[in-house]
Chains A and B, each alone.
Chain A
């Protein structure tokens, strides 16, 4: 008897749970999202990428601009990591040989060859490099590196660029810029889009006309050209705006400037979306009720109407981030991005492959920085699509 009653209670609980009566919106969305395996995969890859960028100092064996003049290490191919002991033929702890540069007897090109008769340098894990401290998230100082080899051997997992800087380390550090800038710029766009969109949708009439004309004007100039012109001119420390505010354009300020420029150029679409949503929400009973109760215009706009757009905005926001990442890497690729001495965006790293006098077939590893751009954009798209389906009641599973 008791067991039967218990199971009946469990059934009832299950039915309630199934009906979703007591679940919050966020809970439902998360449960829907979790069933979207591809989106979940995207979220996982993104998490890994962001973590790697945050802990770049720890994972990267070298500093972002670290290089040695002698011996020459420019355009070194990816270092060959050996796992098998050549003498015994057994698996051994990974080691590398030192590389020496030679001239190809036929083409007179510089080639790097392993010094196979030289000593082996085992890859050491968790090494201290007191001469090269780094910071994590701008808070923790450390000099502990995940791996490294003893000098004079060096380990360049993805080769080196024209100055002999380690591409692997630079890609990790590059993520700090390329992965964050899109997320930050989207908030600038969102703020502008929200304010203008809500005002246009709420007041309608002349105000609406004016704001929408403004959006059209922004749309009328090709985005890339606007970005190129704004980024070039604002980066120049002699420009009137910088002088008015007394800015000297340190790397942090350039970073911020690019965020603002990207956000400024991209808010039009968000404003349009929010406006059309507010136009319909404005006529809803609850908005009318708020008005009847004497709520001020500001209160109705930002307390009642804006939250109504939240679910839609979240999706649009997620799907806007990849666009910003592409825009930033594109700008950096042109050499106009937020890249200074102590930072390098993925776009700037790809620029190395187009430098004068380089034939890409001899240095294909310089294209590696394109892969994380591709991955980040892909995964943000996947997550955005997953969120869209999760918010869509017609697609509930």
Chain B
């Protein structure tokens, strides 16, 4: 196994561990909404977007029609447009068919891991990561639907912490190198907290506003240090 493949698994495992309990919860909830096993599976296998799937279940229960649910999903998931825009600048020239495949797997966590890799992103790294995430999400959904809450609740809750720990673990080396990266991160978190408290943006858009505002501010003031080394 090359170092690159090892690294991909090292980051893929935490994503898998984090996705499984969330997906189990989705499986359980979807069963409670009188959705069939096949439909629940299709949600996770075809849409593959955590938060928006939970929101869709809620909206279904309130009796909202397809148009409203699909529009809400578009809004909730639109942040991935910005994440893909960043990733597109990091993959170099690759065949179109790979772009179609890798775009499907751009989730918050996959994006975060990829963005902290040094140098050009390689296909094996991207696909190992995306497949780990996808496997965790789909198997978790099936397990939740079929087996219900088979894991002790405190274990599931603890496993959910893995996703935050993963983001934090990747961020730490950056923060250690650059105070400005720390300032950007914290400002973005504070802005997000503030926007959520104000409660006027639809779900998912607080993150979009944070990315736009903070990255714009960052691009004016501190472009030289943040991510420079990673990028090249």
Partners in one complex: no
Interface residues of A (CB under 8 A from B): none
Residues on B facing A (Cβ under 8 Å): none
